[in-house]
Amino acid sequence: MAKRQDAISQYNDTKSLHYKQILNSAFGGEEQNNAKFDKISFNNARQTSFKQLKQDHKATRKLSDDILNSDGEVIEEAQYMVSESPSQFKCNKPLQEAVFILDNSKFWYLNFVYNFFFKCVDMNRVHFCNMDIDSMYLSIAGSQIECYKQGLKYVIKDQLFYDNRFKELLPWDNCTVAEEKKLMGITTESQGENIVCLAPKCYSLYNGNEQNDDIVSLVNRMKGVSEKKANLTTNDYIKCLNDGCNISVTTNNLQMKMGVMSMISMEKSALTGIHNKMVVLSKGCCAPFMYGINADHYLID
């Protein structure tokens, strides 16, 4: 974290992005230990036949055939990829730590919402558009005179409470990078005049009005599809929301099979408006997944 803060202070975007990737991958790489659950090896036919007899064998995939010379002699043996699930493995960090991080992040998220946000902000002028495990997207009805980059300035109902506590969680004008990116803190990633949220991590932030056809896209996010290759616009998000349609894109990927590299074209659903991370109720509001509870168990006034 400190190295990323230094990189941002030095306006070194390359280093900043590098350390950001390290931070984002630390949970999966160090806590979950996914690499330890599967053991992948590349073998010839003889080695593969022995490994297939073991109890921890999971799957085998042939990568290439035998390569023969002009005399019919084998100069390169066929290669196989064997996946094994070892009965024992060593974790550098306990699995309980990963579970604690997930639970602790939710605790601090709710701590910010209930013990700070709800107490000092007029929620009649703020709408939660979308939420994820570490982010939230808000629509704020602030001043119509100032530009959209006004934050919570005009929706605070308890100014004294806000002034006494906001520096513990939020950045402020002319603060340092360390103060802006502090642990357990909240910072603003992007701001705009309008936002269309279809599902968690699937939204479009834009300026302008679709009725006047002067939309300027600021941020477009989607899951499972490259944002640069999809070439989707804010109008696609609006169309998906209003019409409930499915917008698909064609993606090209390189794939090797039997030693042959091929270009595979696949059609994927980029925007669907389908939300499968929570129970969606009839009026569009959402509720968390709970064992034995479905949408029919909720009463909506």
Kindly report, residue by residue over 56-83, the tens digit of the pLDDT.
888 888 888 888 888 888 888 888 888 8
Average pLDDT in the chain: 80
CB atoms near residue 292 (< 10 Å): 5
- pLDDT at res. 25: 61
Stated as kind and residue range, the H or E segment containing 102 is: helix 95-112
Return the structure tokens found at 239: 């169309």
What percent of the residues of the chain are helix, what percent strand, and what percent coil, each to the nearest 5? 35, 30, 40
Residue 232 CB partners (closer than 8 Å, separation 6+)? 220, 222, 247, 249, 270, 271
Query: To the nearest 10°, the Cα dihedral for 231, 237, 238, 240?
Result: 110
Contact 287, 281 (CB under 8 A): yes
What does the pLDDT average to over 77-106?
75
**Mean predicted confidence (pLDDT) in 10-34:** 66
6 HSE (CA, 13 A, CB side): 4
Question: Is pLDDT at 27 greater than 60 in this prediction?
Answer: no
pLDDT at 119: 92
Mean of the pLDDT values across residues 107-126?
90
pLDDT at residue number 156: 92
Q: How confident is the model at residue 118 (pLDDT cuts 50, 70, 90)?
A: very high
pLDDT of residue 92: 63
The mean per-residue pLDDT over the stretch 180-195 comes to: 84
Task: Give the 3-state secondary structure of residue 98.
Answer: helix
